[in-house]
Amino acid sequence: MKVPFLDLKLAYEELSDQLEPAVLRALRSGWYIGGQEVEAFESVYAKYCGASQAVAVANGLEALELALRACDIGPGDEVIVPSNTFIATWLAVSRTGATIVPVEPDEYTYCIEAIAVSKAITERTKAIIPVHLYGQPVDIDPIVALAEPSGIFVIEDAAQAHGARYRGRRIGGTRHATAWSFYPAKNLGALGDAGAVTTDSAEIADRLRMLRNYGSKEKYVNEIAGFNSRMDPVQAAVLALKVGVLDVWNSRRQSIANRYIEAFRATPLVLPVVPEWADPVWHLFVVRHPQRDWLADELSKRGVQTQAHYPIPPHEQQAYAHLGYASEAFPLAGLLAREVLSLPIGPQMSTAEVDWVIESVLDVLGRPNE
Ligand SMILES: *Cc1c(COP(=O)(O)O)cnc(C)c1O
């Protein structure tokens, strides 16, 4: 049996009866950037997140960058980011000219925590970007409590956490800003690139609307030097439809995660840890093993495709060589990069595929009860 890491065609096929008319409607509208479809999606998604506003943009990286810029962050400012995130979190900061200040995550939740963050705060700190990595919500209240009195912005990277709940409330209803990616493989994925920022601040939303459209509110009147980062109606129509199935699809991910956790409890794998205040959405199911490459190889021989998220931490990337970090500068990020392995998970995975992943892992690592 072959189990692909993720098959996006199956997601398309499940919804094609609804997607195809929606896409046709957008194609036939005669309007191809912004407009009604995009506004409709913004309002549906803001409501879903419990935010007062959503501003649609072109992709997740720009959602983060424009959120930073909407908070007036630039050269001379410091922005705290996790040492173990996807490179886009760092790129958003460096694109503004601000200084990246990496903080090591908690060893078990893989997310940054208030205590570590507090040690990295200086008088130049202007923002913190907690990343809800792998779909696990960050313990955000203590971070906000730390940031607010000093006027530090909290800009959440929720590119992997559509629908996740923290203490019962949905991620994204934030005073400052939460950045979203709708890259096709995310839990809420478009049929191309797309992104958004949700916020409860009318001021930040207003600046984002200008920034995404050349710095202009009124055509050919430019108040600030902006960007072109807009969503098109085809993606908006697709996304508005897919918000309607997001909870169901996330619950299928949850069932698969439950089965993996149960099946691998007694194996040497380090399993994901879910704090009692967290309702994760399992964008990825990440385990750890000291011989990760060997395990990936053995699983591949049995037809199970896996990935590592992520094999090289940002501070060790050539792209950031100029920052001059030693490889050991962030030992936990380094350790995770060597040990993490993502098993197949997705809303269209069949029971037989999940069974086969479990069988294969137990076959490689040994069955604890035998
Ligand atoms: C996917 C992702 C992004 C970037 O989103 P794009 O839409 O691909 O630009 C940013 N941060 C994290 C954590 C991501 O997983």
**Ligand 1 site, residue 195, Cβ cutoff 6 A:** yes
Query: Does residue 102 share a domain with residue 215?
Result: yes
**How remote is the CA of residue 263 from the centroid of ligand 1, in Å?**
30
CATH of the domain at 106: 3.40.640.10
**How remote is the CA of residue 364 from the centroid of ligand 1, in Å?**
32
Residue 3 domain-assigned (yes or no): no
pTM: 0.97
Query: Does residue 278 share a domain with residue 232?
Result: no
The neighbouring-strand residues paired with 195 are 57, 181
The token pair that represents 273 in the structure block: 């840890």
Query: Does residue 184 share a domain with residue 59?
Result: yes
Query: Does residue 304 share a domain with residue 267?
Result: yes
Domain boundary among 240, 269, 296: 240
Query: Does residue 179 share a domain with residue 93?
Result: yes
How many domains would you assign to the chain? 2
Domain boundary among 219, 240, 261: 240
CA dihedral 266, 269, 273, 279 (to 10 degrees): -90
Please choose, from the candidates 182, 208, 178, the residue with its C-alpha nearest in 3D space to the C-alpha of residue 193.
182
Please choose, from the candidates 145, 153, 146, the residue with its C-alpha nearest in 3D space to the C-alpha of residue 179.
153
Query: Does residue 135 share a domain with residue 26?
Result: yes
Residue 172 lies in domain: 8-240
Query: Does residue 262 share a domain with residue 128?
Result: no
Query: Does residue 227 share a domain with residue 253?
Result: no
CB 327 within 8 A of CB 309: no
Closest residue by CA, ligand 1 atom 12: 159
Pocket probe for ligand 1: among 66, 79, 86, the residue whose CB has the most ligand atoms within 8 Å is 86
CATH of the domain at 299: 3.90.1150.10
Query: Does residue 183 share a domain with residue 66?
Result: yes
Please report, in tens digits, the pLDDT of each residue of the chain (370 residues total): 999 999 999 999 999 999 999 999 999 999 999 999 999 999 999 999 999 999 999 999 999 999 999 999 999 999 999 999 999 999 999 999 999 999 999 999 999 999 999 999 999 999 999 999 999 999 999 999 999 999 999 999 999 999 999 999 999 988 899 999 999 999 999 999 999 999 999 999 999 999 999 999 889 999 999 999 999 999 999 999 999 999 999 999 999 999 999 999 999 999 999 999 999 999 999 999 999 999 999 999 999 999 999 999 999 999 999 999 999 999 999 999 999 999 999 999 999 999 999 999 999 998 866 5
CB 161 within 8 A of CB 185: no
Q: What is the DSSP string of 142-210?
A: HHHHHHGGGT-EEEEE-TT-TT-EETTEETT--SSEEEEE--TTSSS--SS--EEEEES-HHHHHHHHH
